[in-house]
Structure 1
Amino acid sequence: MNQKQIQQAFQIGFTYIGTVVGAGFASGQEILKFFSVYGDWAYFGIPVSTILFAWVGTKMLLMGARLNASSYRQLTAYLFGDRLAAMIDLFMMVMLFGVTVAMLAGVGALFHENLKIPFQLGVLLTMGLTYFTIRRGMSGILTANSIIVPIMISLICFIFVKSVSHTPVPAASPPIEHSSWTWFASSVAYAAFNLGLAVSVLVPLGNEIQDRKCLVAGGCIGAIGLGGMLLGAHFALSLRLPDILVYEVPMAHITSTYGIVVQVLFIVVLWGEIFSTLIANVYGLGSQLAPPRYPVNGSLVTVLILTAAFFVSQVGFSNIVTYLYPVFGYLSFLLLILLIWPRNPPLE
């Protein structure tokens, strides 16, 4: 691979990471729920998720290139057939819009609670930056994630190193009951759910790049980065179990012990992770709603999505998202199985 291909591979990998990693990861809640509560089994579960991220994420990229897919519509039509794909596309659009609303509400709360900036102003500022990022199309998303993701990785590495050098007295394993293989099911569920969200960006990204070597390398870089971040964050959280379970944002509690500079950096990273998920969702939703031959980054489509999400975010959307997430998880499992299932001849 030449220098340009290597650069593209890292851009793909960083975009993959930025699409998967959101507020749930940054807060630490996802890591606790899917991995840390299983104690040392998490060190087996995280590699399972990492392998799935590498395997299925790369397949999504390659299938996007092979299908010349401008959105995930072509992929769902190939996997499910036109009739069933239409229903799945509609549900995925609702889900993407729901997560978009949740991200806007989250960023408003972040600005208000930590920077004393009015909720609406924080949301409007993020909406404006989202609009100008998406106006640049896929290149804008690649550039944004090339900036945000290295900062995320750096903070996780810092927290890991600080946890190793200032190891508190380890507490007993959390008092939960589970069967011997629930850690495995949880690891698969985590990968499936996040891959279901990532498909809206990975498929058109594969079409955008078209270079097989770059796509395979980028998929692997993204998966390895996600696996490394999961391991580092889990290690830091596991040292503080079970006490850390009472905190709504456990990672914020950990960073609060490292001084004001790290706290401020954590706020920046949390906003960055919300923003990276937001631009991925709005881009994926726009790619579905844009009329044929109309650019995905068309200003009207983006403005309509963001405006609708802004108004819904004012009344709160957390309950709807709470009910939709489990259903979306089941759909993601189906998508995962169909992507892994061997075909003759294989598309990619």
Structure 2
Amino acid sequence: MNRLSWKQSFQIGCTYIGTVIGAGFASGQEILQFFTIHGTYAYFGIFLATVLFAWGGIRLLRFGYELRAISYNQLTEYRFGKQLARILDSSMSIMLFGITVAMLAGVGALFQEQFHLSFHFGVLLTIGLTLFVLLKGMKGILSANSIIVPCMFLFTILIFILTLRQGIVSPSAIAEQENHWKWGLSSISYAAFNLGLAVSVLIPLGTQAGTIQTLKLGGLIGAVGLGVMMVIVHIALAAHMPGMIAFEVPMGYIAAKMNPWLQIGFSFVLWGEIFSSLIGNVYALSSQMKPGASMLQTLFLNICILTVAFFVAQIGFSKLVTILYPLFGYLSFFFILAILFPIRHRNE
């Protein structure tokens, strides 16, 4: 494989990771609820989720590659027909917009609570940076994630090293949270939810690969990277169990307990993870609303999306997450159905 293909694979892998991880992952809450509470079974769950991320991610990327799709509606139309596709695409757009609003609200809360700056300053600054990155389309997303994701990875490794120095907790300390079958359901649900969320970016991302081999390697890099980060976060959380269950942002508590400077670093990492999800969501929305739009048309759409989201974000982060995320979880299963079978081109 030539050098350019390796570079493309790395960018695809980073964008895959950046799309999946968000505020829930960075805070540690997702890993805690889906994996850590299952004690020693958490490692089996993480392994299963990693396999599903590799399989599902590569399938979605390949669909985008083979269909030459510029938006996810091309996949839903191919799989479900035009009428059902319209319903699913509309539902997906509503959910993506809702999550975009939630991300902006989360950014505002982060700037207010961690940086002691204005809610509106944090949101407007992030909107400005989002518009700047999206001026370059998918290439801008690839470049941004190639910087953001390695920084996140280094931070999680630092947390892991400091956790090792403090000593790993015995599995028996969280044995009361174990269940002999729920870990499998949690793992499948977690992978399905995040693949459903990532479909809007992975489909057009597949068109960026020069070859199938480059695409497969990129999907594998993304899945393995996610798996490694899940293990690292789980170990850090398990080392402080069962007390972590009481915290809304458990990784923030761990960082603050270890070092005040680490807490500041965590705040920037959390912002980076929110930002990586935000740019993917806005890109997916604008490409869905007007596929093949010019740069000026796309910029106008992005400004409209983010302006409306800015005003809706005043509702608050926690309220939005409570309402929207469960709904999106159910929707995700419909989109996962689209990757169960290989593409067979129709003669219509």
Shift of 1:328: 2.0
Corresponding residue for residue 285 of structure 1: 285
Q: CA deviation at 1:317?
A: 5.8
Report the CA distance between 1:227 and its aligned residue: 0.1
Q: What number of residue pairs does the alignment pair up?
A: 345
Q: Which residue of 2 aligns with 1:266?
A: 266
Offset at residue 175 of structure 1 (A): 3.6
- C-alpha distance 18-253 of structure 1, shift in aligned 2 (>3 A): same
* Other-structure match for 1:149: 149
SS at match of 1:149: helix
Shift of 1:209: 2.6
272-281 vs 77-86, which deviates more? Answer: 77-86
Aligned partners of 1:146 and 1:292: how far apart in 2?
Answer: 25
Q: Deviations over 1:248-296 (max 9, x none)?
A: 1100111112212211111110100000000010001111112555459
The answer to whether the aligner puts 1:2 opposite 2:2 as a matched pair is yes
Q: Is contact 1:137–1:296 with CA below 8 Å preserved after alignment?
A: no
Displacement of 1:344 in angstroms is 5.9
Shift of 1:163: 1.1
User: Which amino acid is the alignment partner of residue 203 of structure 2?
Assistant: V
CA contact (8 A) 1:137 1:297 kept: no
Query: Structure 1 length normalisation: TM-score?
Result: 0.94
Q: Is the 8 A contact 2:168 2:239 kept in 1?
A: yes
Pair 297,224 (structure 1): closer, same or farther in 2 beyond 3 Å: farther
Q: SS of 2:114's equivalent?
A: helix
- The C-alpha deviation readout for 1:202-230, integer Å capped at 9, x for no partner, is 10011233421111000000000000000
* CA distance, structure 1, for counterparts of residue 28 and residue 144 of structure 2: 23
Shift of the 76–140 alpha-carbon distance from structure 1 to 2, 3 Å rule, reads same
Contact in 2 for aligned 1:21/1:277 (Cα 8 Å): yes
Cα distance change on mapping 1:177 and 1:2 into 2, 3 Å: closer
Look up the match of 2:334: 334
Change (3 A) 1:66 1:216: same
In structure 2, relative to structure 1, the CA distance for the partners of 1:165 and 1:292 (3 Å cut) is: closer
Aligned residue number for residue 172 of structure 1: 173
CA–CA distance in structure 1, aligned partners of residues 199 and 302 of structure 2: 19
> Is there any run of 5+ residues in structure 1 with no aligned partner, and where?
none
Mean CA deviation greater in 157-166 or 247-256? 157-166
Tell me how large the CA RMSD over aligned residues is.
Answer: 1.9
Q: 1:8 to 1:172 in 2, by over 3 A?
A: same
| Partners of 2:61 and 2:213 in 1: CA distance | 11
Find out whether 1:89 has 2:84 as its counterpart: no
C-alpha distance after superposition, 1:104-147 (max 9, x if no partner): 00011111111111000110000000000011111110110011
Partner of 1:172, secondary structure, is helix
TM-score, normalised via structure 2 length: 0.94
| One-letter amino acid of the structure 2 residue matched with residue 328 of structure 1 | F
Gaps of 5+ in 2: none
Distance of aligned partners of 1:19 and 1:143 in 2 relative to their CA distance in 1, 3 Å threshold: same
Provide the rounded CA distance (Å) in 2 between the counterparts of 1:177 and 1:237: 15
Q: Which residue of 2 aligns with 1:71?
A: 71
* Distance in 2, Cα, partners of 1:257 & 1:318: 24
Corresponding position of 1:38: 38
* Counterpart in the other structure of 1:241: 241
Determine helix, strand or coil for the equivalent of 2:224. Answer: helix
Cross-structure match for 2:232: 232
Deviations 1:167-188 (A, max 9, x none): 165472164474x221001001
For the residues of structure 1 that align with 2:224 and 2:193, how far apart are their CA atoms? 18
Q: Find the counterpart in structure 1 of residue 299 from structure 2.
A: 299
Deviations 1:302-329 (A, max 9, x none): 0000000001001236435423322321
Q: For residues 291 and 223 of structure 1, do their structure 2 counterparts lie closer, same or farther at Cα, with a shift above 3 Å needed?
A: closer
Q: CA deviation at 1:81?
A: 1.4
Kept in 2, the 8 Å contact 1:71–1:203? The answer is: yes
Q: In percent, how many aligned pairs have the same letter?
A: 52
Q: Distance in 2 between matches of 1:332 and 1:248?
A: 24
Contact kept, 8 Å, 2:39 with 2:178, in 1: the verdict is no
Q: 1:57 to 1:139 in 2, by over 3 A?
A: same
Contact kept in structure 2, 1:283 and 1:297, CA below 8 Å: no
